A and B are shown apart, each in its own frame.
Chain A
Amino acid sequence: MNTELLGIIATYAITLLIAIPLGIYLAKVFAGEKVWTDFLKPLEKVIYKLSGINSNEEMNWKQHMKALITINLLWLVYGFFVLIFQHKLPLNPDGNLGMSPDLSFNTVISFVVNCNLQHYSGETGLTYFTQQFVIMFLQFVSAATGIAAAVVLFKAFRDKTTTQLGNFWVFFIKSITRLLLPLSIVIAIVLAFNGIPTSYEGKDQFISMEGDTVNVSRGPVAAMVAIKHLGTNGGGWFGVNSAHPLENPNYITYMVEMIAQVIIPIAMIFAFGWFIRRKKMAYVIFGIMTLGMFLLLVPTVISEVRGNPAIEKMGISQATGAMEGKEIRFGTIGTAYWSTVTTIISTGSVNSMHDSTMPLTGMLQMLAMMMNCFYGGCGVGLLNYFVFIIIAVFISGLMVGRTPEFLGHKVEAREVKIASIIALLHPFIILVGTALAAYTITYYPDANWAVKPSSWLNNPGFHGFSEMLYENTSAAANNGSGFEGLGDNNMFWNVVTGFILILGRFLPIIGPVAIAGLLGAKKYIPESNGTLKTDTLTFGVMTFVVIVIITALAFFPALTLGPLAEYFTLAKS
């Protein structure tokens, strides 16, 4: 047990050692200052030239969002058709079929929005061509989209008053050339030398020791697993994601994949602080986010190590904790840490089956996605947190009777309205989606879909409700993990979560960028004694309270019906 605990402590420590310098480096990269990776400039120049981009053209926030939406729409159309016709394209050694239109709709949205909800299984649902030219491609560009959007926000607060917020294409391309691609190469090579396949050969076959014929799905997995974590995407090559022994074969790959998914979200916090020249701000945000993570992590570890009370009663040993759905090589504590990290950050890759975790663990996983801003996804985590900062500024302003200000710009009705809409959108789409699912299951159990509503749920009772709640939460938070027992590859879930995914991605990007753009254009008011300081611990705690209250009020009733009810049933029986 102790080595398991040491394992996650070491993993987190290494994460910080990499993430903090990386953040400072990123601030310099995006500010255009000198960095050691400037030898890549010629590559960027070639990309600008081939794409017809003028890297000196400045954009305001609206132009930024137009560019972002245009290219994202293009990817949606491209991916949709390639997935449907994948069986007619090359690199399909296993002879897999094309996707149905509703599954393709869901899949392409899910990857464009950095969510990676997977209603298919990689072994049979995709070809090597679509794994790379759709899935892995979108894992790179969706992460870069999130980072570029966050940089637009940084830019709004760097100078006193400005509408010139840099060039979207430059931020986007630099995110790839200076961050995602080089790091992916390093990570993929480490993974490859630890046993993750890289070759393009199709299925292998062998005769096992007991004489069974076994077919083995393989492929160029390592390249994708690297960006899947680095870009907080989470969509796996194989159906069971990073629980699969060829996608995560040992403790070194566990640590590497774990570190890879957290470094950019943490680095972005420090990049923000250094970029706007307010380092204290970065420390406060980092502190509050870390507090949030630990508050979710500690009870998760405890509830998993204790094991399943119903199995306890059978009189066997649960010395290694609850083991259903877990792999021995990661251990219970390593798995608990992964489940917290993958849900606070919008990765959504799993190294265990979340459906089989203890009720309280399941609740904490959902809570993490409901708050969705403790570290959060590549770029977007900080954007989500920023929304709560604006609300906290407004509320504290009211409490102390001062005009709300953020970094020298007055926060007025329009900004607060946008922030409130974005903050409330999240519970709205999750709860409406879940209500719709529960209604359908009750009133149309025999609807003629690929999976009938009456057979959606893999578990009866409260846990079944949790499966639906989790799916909608994961979609809205652009997380992508699932209670995978849910029969989700059918018209209802493909379409409903498809829409939730789009709303849950683009509005929470456009909202904060708009607020930042509006604030940045306002007259700068120098700090005085009357200014409410936003880089203090007190204000950090205030933001934390706002986050907790909004989530608790919105989600407590739903959580009571699912995981909490299951917890008390198990504890009582």
Chain B
Amino acid sequence: MKKYIIQSLRLTAVLLVLLCIIYPLFIAFTGGFSKGNGGGEKIMKEGKVVGYAALGQSFTKPEYFWSRPSAVDYNAAGSGGSNKGPSNEEYLKQVADRIDTLLKYNPTLKKADIPADMVTASGSGLDPNISVQGAEIQISRIAAYRKLDENIVKDLVAKNTETPLLGLFGPTKINVLKLNVALDELNKK
């Protein structure tokens, strides 16, 4: 037994060096060559960092495309979902309220066109994406607020639509932050 204890102690010490120092430092070194140098890819606008490509952020002004609802208000220092069960009455009321808000700000919108992702909170509370339908239902509102032709906004949405991996695998989606940055540039022209 004593032999095993000493072997355990020594082996643990050796493995701590190998697995907790050498391995992660090697990965950190290699990761330094990636986009964003290992700190996450950032999005710039007019020379300033306005966010991370991977992280969603809150958009509530009517002239921007809105993100999905978030249970943590897009707090990137602490993530979280709502963890509401499907039959929770209080939760269902919240969803109904979100539908009403969307209808209020988008007068031409038909209820049946609202996609579920725009009225439900994401798992992380930091979802950077919305569905294509989620963007389409906002086009007429944004065109009106920005005094742009609807077709121009529509083209912009189409241009910012990210196709599945290799065109084959996974969902089609839109990065809200990138789309809104592009939208602001459109207005400048």
Contacts and interface: CB of A to CB of B under 8 A. Distances in A.
Taking each of B28, B123, B128, which has the highest tally of chain A beta carbons within 10 Å of its own beta carbon?
B123
28 contacts: A47-B18, A70-B1, A70-B8, A123-B77, A124-B78, A137-B16, A140-B15, A141-B19, A192-B30, A197-B40, A199-B32, A214-B75, A216-B40, A216-B55, A217-B78, A240-B123, A243-B81, A244-B126, A251-B169, A255-B169, A320-B115, A323-B116, A323-B122, A330-B170, A334-B170, A355-B83, A466-B85, A485-B83
Instruction: List the 6 closest pairs (A to B, CB-CB), nearest first.
Output: A198-B31, A485-B83, A463-B85, A243-B123, A353-B81, A331-B171
Interface residues of B, number: 106
A249 B175 CA distance: 12
Given A184-B23, A245-B124, A310-B86, A51 B81 contact: no
A198 B128 contact: no
A220 B24 contact: yes
Interface string B53-74: 1111111110010001000001
Given A7-B170, A51-B11, A239 B84 contact: no
A185 B111 CA distance: 49
A10 interface: yes
B138 interface: no
Interface string A328-361: 1111001000000000000000111101111100
B140 interface: no
Contacts of B180: 209
A218 B9 CA distance: 32
A136 B169 contact: no
A350 B95 contact: no
Nearest to B5: A70
A218 B39 contact: yes
B7 A317 contact: no
A253 to B, nearest CB: 10
Interface string A187-199: 0110011010111
A208 B126 CA distance: 13
B113 to A, nearest CB: 6
B119 to A, nearest CB: 7
Interface of B: 1, 4-16, 18-20, 23-24, 26-28, 30-32, 34-42, 45, 48-61, 64, 68, 74-89, 91-92, 95-96, 99, 111-117, 119-131, 133, 164-165, 167-173, 177, 180-181, 184
A239 B79 contact: yes
A353 B88 CA distance: 15
Given A209-B51, A484-B83, A50 B14 contact: yes
Contact of B171 (A185, A315, A328): A328
B87 A325 contact: no
A254 B129 CA distance: 15
A239 B81 CA distance: 10
A358 B11 contact: no
Contacts of B15: 47, 137, 140-141, 176
Nearest to B37: A199
Contacts of A124: 77-78
B57 A208 contact: yes
A71 B27 contact: no
A203 B76 CA distance: 10
Nearest to A189: B30
Contacts of B20: 132-133, 136-137
A3 B164 CA distance: 7
B169 A71 contact: no
A89 interface: no
Contacts of A246: 40, 52, 54-55
A311 B40 contact: no
A308 B59 contact: no
Nearest to A486: B83
Contacts of A121: 78-80
A328 B164 CA distance: 12
A238 interface: yes
Interface string A158-192: 00000000000100010010000100110011001
Nearest to A187: B27
Nearest to B4: A70
Nearest to A68: B4
A556 interface: no
A210 interface: yes
Contacts of B18: 47, 176, 181
A314 B114 CA distance: 10
Given A317-B133, A353-B123, 16 more contacts: A66-B4, A121-B79, A123-B78, A195-B35, A195-B40, A199-B37, A207-B48, A210-B58, A223-B27, A226-B27, A311-B120, A329-B171, A331-B170, A458-B83, A459-B85, A485-B85
B34 A198 contact: yes
B59 A209 contact: yes
Contacts of B116: 307-308, 311, 316-324
B127 A206 contact: no
Given A51-B10, A52-B6, A485-B84, A132 B24 contact: yes
A461 B90 CA distance: 12
Nearest to B163: A3
A357 to B, nearest CB: 8
B83 A325 contact: yes
A463 B81 contact: no
A223 B16 contact: no
B52 to A, nearest CB: 6
A66 B7 CA distance: 12
Given A185-B26, A198-B28, A210-B61, A324 B82 contact: yes
A509 B92 CA distance: 44
Contact of A66 (B1, B54, B55, B68): B1
Interface string A275-319: 000000000000000000000000000000001101100111111
Taking each of B85, B95, B129, which has the highest tally of chain A beta carbons within 10 Å of its own beta carbon?
B85
Contacts of A461: 87
A297 to B, nearest CB: 17
